[in-house]
Amino acid sequence: MSEGGAVETTVETIETVPTMEKSLIAVIAVIAASLLIPLTGNKYALYLSTKIWILILYAIAFNVLFGYSGLLSFGHALFFSGSAYTLAILVARLDYPLVVGFILGIAAATLFSAVVGTLSLRHREIHFAMVTLAFSMLFWGIVMKWRDVTGGEDGITGFPRGFSMFWFYYFTVLVVVICSYLMYRFVKSDIGLILEGIRENETRVQFSGHSTLKYRLYAMIVSGTFTGVAGVLWALLDRTVTPTIAHWTFSAIPVIVTLLGGPQSFIGPAVGTIVYVIIQDLITKYTLYWQFIFGVAIVAVVLFFRGGVVGIVERYLRGR
């Protein structure tokens, strides 16, 4: 990768033990505090926080591929909407139980990521991004046109959530925390180390006796599967699926929040998601041009703070 890439990585690797402990404490504190949200009785806050949790899972799953293996996918909406639509079709159209829809929805994302991975991972960088984008837009086209099954622009409604909003929030937090922990274990495993090696210097990994294609595919499947978990949660939250989540703009969300939060840190995408949703929500109240303001913020972070929000905080904590 470029020189810039090598410089960025040092941010994470020299993360000292005290800051790791500090960030673990901070993460636990945020999770604990967020458990109080449903008790406030504020329905809007409850809805918004559920949404944030789901998008956090989406962003962390995306970053397993981007931050740890250096592969920028611009087609993650395919795995997100693939699982959401599978659940909706199975439950609303074919009368399967919700649990079956939930599990098969995730399985669909696994399958899609394996297929797209197999067909796209021979390409690198911008070519990989374009191939993944093409696959996801192909799926978007099918969703829009195959009205009998997908409902076209109207999407699919008419399936239960299985929980009240109150309990669905806790269910979501539980699922997101478990999935994030599993992904953390994955990136810190020996497979994760080999993926970091691929990001650093792919040729050297090949000359270390590893099929890099195989490991890139592992990363793709793990990333796609957990994106699928976020997708089924999203379907249940609104009890609706619409083509919005299949569109390429939905693939851009994890890219943006990851750059915002910091791709070199595991929780960076989560921090970016919280900042993204809150800024979006706040600015929309005052101006219709929130996207413009947001764009300026993103450009500033990417140009001047490559470690993202987490990088800025870390630097501050080290007193630099």
Q: How far is CA 281 from CA 231, 237, 285, in A?
A: 21, 18, 7
Query: Which CB, 73 or 264, lies closer to another protein?
Result: 264
- Smallest separation (angstroms) from another protein to the CB of 85: 37
Query: Which CB, 205 or 241, lies closer to another protein?
Result: 205
E strand or H helix that includes residue 156: strand 156-157
E strand or H helix that includes residue 241: strand 240-241
User: Does 6 contact another protein by CB under 8 A?
Assistant: yes
Q: Which of 101, 173, 196, 270 binds another protein (CB under 8 A)?
A: 196
Binding span for another protein by CB under 8 A among 6-14, 42-50, 104-112, 237-245: 6-14
Residues 166/103, Cβ–Cβ less than 8 Å: no
Q: Which residues does residue 157 pair with via DSSP β-bridges, in sequence order?
A: 240
In whole angstroms, what is the distance from residue 65 CA to residue 181 CA? 16
Query: Which CB, 22 or 210, lies closer to another protein?
Result: 210
Binding span for another protein by CB under 8 A among 21-29, 161-169, 186-194, 291-299: 186-194
User: Does 291 contact another protein by CB under 8 A?
Assistant: no
User: Does 118 contact another protein by CB under 8 A?
Assistant: no
User: Does 182 contact another protein by CB under 8 A?
Assistant: no
E strand or H helix that includes residue 83: helix 76-88
- Smallest separation (angstroms) from another protein to the CB of 195: 10
Site string for another protein, 200-239 (x = CB under 8 A): xx-xxxxxxxxxx---------------------------
- Smallest separation (angstroms) from another protein to the CB of 215: 10
Residues 75/133, Cβ–Cβ less than 8 Å: yes
Longest CA pairwise span in the chain (Å)? 60
Fill in the amino acid letter for 256: I
User: Does 296 contact another protein by CB under 8 A?
Assistant: no
- Smallest separation (angstroms) from another protein to the CB of 203: 7
Residues 72/129, Cβ–Cβ less than 8 Å: yes
Fill in the amino acid letter for 155: G
Q: Are strands 156-157 and 240-241 parallel, antiparallel or unpaired?
A: antiparallel
User: Does 20 contact another protein by CB under 8 A?
Assistant: no
In whole angstroms, what is the distance from residue 109 CA to residue 124 CA? 22
By CB under 8 A, name the binding residues for another protein.
Answer: 6, 9-10, 13-14, 190, 193-194, 196-197, 200-201, 203-212
